[in-house]
């Protein structure tokens, strides 16, 4: 009898455990499905995410590891093409090199995020990680953009299309889960706004900043270096952003150089003698075989970069189409009292967090573009005379994912026509000028308390192609002034908004780029709020 009872007890136990297993598996699958349905790629998510990960945090960690692994595989594939490049056209090689470099950045970003979330992540650090994950998508999209610009080379493009597409989906799902698991709590933090507006940088010296070393560039040989590139190459590697600035003072002159500040050169400060006195110039363009990414006269990736009193030019002209003067992919980077001169795609605000103060930007088509989290403060935008049958678009913001913390915020700036465009008496030579157009699906641009001259078309904004992105973009205006600021005939798109002060605060230095944490060390004046 005891044996039979033991047998029945064992049987009941097994049945109970089986029911529990089936039930828990069903819950796991349901939980996984529910999570995936909140992401931009639910079907891909469901086929990728195992059911045993029950918490959003664990699901995110798993997908971040998958993203890192995929990125390493992609980088190895790109490297193999670059190592056997004898038969590949030069324009395709440019695109491959862009992709490889951006993949290396993504490996760093994913590694940094994974290391950070192994411990408790709170407050300001969440914004840092959110910024890095947003940038991984931007980097991957830039890679795809490059291949779309060059003549197709099927042996390469067909082999890369699927890995690149899958990587974007993985990155997007990871970002969605990070936003759901970590970012929402951080958003409930402090709303205190401080104003710091009294620091100054003189033309030939740096005040109120910690400087660990200063070198001089002078072509006449009287300085430490004769070229900017030599000075950058000699700057310390991987010095971090807490040990003061390595200052490169560039005396007045015209420098025909293509300068790139790599990720290993952190907290580098480039100081010139003033706008139109220290000038860095080049003329690369897409028409001449470069990708938009590589057409930049000046490019920077090194974290904590600051530029002061310099003009950056691309002289390719309007007929050469995309031709970048500056490409900025440096987190916590600042440009103060600088000028950016070009036509189409003058200033490429590529990724991460950026601040521009008292700068001049000249251009025609999409002349401020990219997918960084960017604030322009007290700057002047000068639309120029474009080619025949072209119009001017000041911005073309490139946000591709609803969970990216990116966008363009234009605060206390002024939009007036460049002298070549004419004025109201000539009807600005019949050229239409718009505040922006949606380069990508979730394009986001806001104008706050800015002066708009009469050259702005009454509808304000224009389409990219048909009704693309008109319901998913976010374009907004708040308290602007001047003859071009009248909103009575603005577009009626679902994504266009007239916002109040509460909503405008979300796009200030403090809330949008957390600049109150990192701008004080630059010595550059800034307003943290709406002042």
Known catalytic residues are 366
Which secondary-structure segment (H or E) carries 253?
strand 253-256
Length of the chain: 531
- The Cα–Cα gap between 371 and 375 comes to 12
Q: Which residues pair with 408 in a beta bridge?
A: 374, 445
Give how far Cα 64 sits from Cα of 37, 142, 188, 400, 473, Å.
Answer: 18, 20, 25, 19, 27
Cβ(380)–Cβ(410) below 8 Å: no
- The Cα–Cα gap between 81 and 103 comes to 14
Query: For residue 518, which phi and psi values (nearest 5 degrees)?
Result: -120, -20
Beta-carbon contacts of 364 under 8 Å, excluding residues fewer than 6 positions away, are: 318, 343, 344, 383, 384, 385, 386, 387, 390, 392
* Structure tokens belonging to residue 8: 């029945």
Residue with structure tokens 């995929």?
A: 70
Cβ(119)–Cβ(277) below 8 Å: no
3-state secondary structure of 74: helix
Buried b / exposed e along 429-468 (16+ C-beta atoms within 10 A): eebbbbbbbbbbbbbbbbbbbbbbbbbbbebbbbebeeeb
- The Cα–Cα gap between 249 and 273 comes to 8
SS3 content of the chain, % helix, strand, coil (to 5): 40, 20, 40
Q: Is 60 exposed, middle or buried (0-12, 13-18, 19+ CB in 10 A)?
A: buried
CB atoms within 10 A of CB 355: 26
């Amino acid at each position: 009898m005891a044996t039979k009872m033991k047998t029945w007890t064992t049987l009941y136990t097994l049945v109970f455990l089986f029911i529990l297993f089936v039930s828990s598996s069903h819950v796991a699958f349901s939980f996984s499905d529910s999570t995936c349905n909140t992401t931009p790629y639910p079907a891909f998510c469901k086929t990728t995410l195992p059911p045993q990960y029950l918490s959003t945090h664990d699901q995110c960690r798993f997908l971040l590891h998958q993203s890192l692994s995929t990125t390493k595989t992609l980088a190895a594939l790109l490297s193999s093409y670059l190592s056997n490049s004898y038969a590949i056209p030069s324009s395709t090689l440019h695109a491959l090199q862009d992709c490889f470099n951006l993949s290396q950045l993504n490996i760093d970003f994913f590694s940094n995020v994974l290391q950070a979330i192994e411990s408790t992540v709170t407050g300001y650090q969440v914004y840092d990680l959110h910024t890095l994950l947003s940038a991984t998508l931007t980097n991957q999209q830039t890679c795809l953009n490059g291949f779309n610009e060059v003549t197709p080379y099927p042996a390469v493009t067909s082999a890369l299309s699927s890995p690149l597409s899958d990587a974007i989906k993985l990155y997007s799902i990871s970002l969605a889960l990070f936003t759901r698991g970590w970012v929402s709590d951080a958003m409930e933090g402090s709303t205190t706004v401080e104003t710091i507006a009294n620091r100054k940088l003189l033309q030939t010296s740096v005040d109120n900043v910690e400087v660990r070393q200063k070198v001089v560039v002078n072509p006449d040989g009287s300085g430490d270096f004769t070229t900017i590139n030599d000075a950058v190459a000699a700057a310390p590697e991987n010095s971090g952003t807490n040990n003061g600035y390595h200052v490169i003072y560039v005396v007045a002159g015209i420098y025909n150089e293509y300068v790139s500040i790599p990720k290993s050169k952190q907290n580098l400060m480039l100081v010139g003698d003033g706008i139109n006195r220290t000038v860095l110039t080049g003329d690369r363009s897409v028409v001449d075989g470069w990708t938009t990414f590589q057409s930049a006269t000046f490019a920077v990736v090194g974290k904590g970069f600051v530029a002061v009193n310099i003009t950056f030019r691309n002289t390719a002209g309007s007929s050469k189409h995309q031709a970048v003067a500056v490409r900025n992919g440096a987190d916590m980077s600042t440009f103060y009292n600088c000028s950016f001169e070009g036509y189409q795609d003058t200033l490429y605000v590529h990724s991460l967090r950026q601040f521009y103060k008292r700068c001049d930007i000249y251009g025609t088509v999409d002349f401020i573009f990219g997918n960084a989290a960017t604030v322009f403060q007290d700057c002047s935008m000068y639309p120029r005379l474009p080619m025949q049958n072209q119009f001017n678009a000041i911005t073309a913001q490139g946000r591709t994912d609803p969970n990216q913390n990116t966008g363009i915020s234009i605060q206390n700036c002024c939009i007036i026509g460049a002298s070549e465009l004419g004025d109201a008496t000539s009807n600005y030579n019949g050229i239409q000028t718009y505040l922006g157009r949606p380069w990508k699906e979730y394009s986001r641009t806001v104008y706050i308390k800015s002066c708009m001259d009469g050259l702005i078309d009454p509808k304000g904004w224009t389409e990219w192609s048909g009704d693309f992105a008109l319901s998913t973009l976010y374009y907004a205006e708040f308290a602007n002034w001047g003859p071009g600021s009248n909103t009575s005939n603005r577009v009626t798109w679902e994504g266009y908004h007239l916002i109040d002060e509460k909503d405008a605060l979300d796009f200030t230095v403090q809330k949008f780029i957390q600049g109150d944490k990192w701008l004080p060390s630059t010595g550059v004046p800034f307003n943290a709020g709406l002042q």
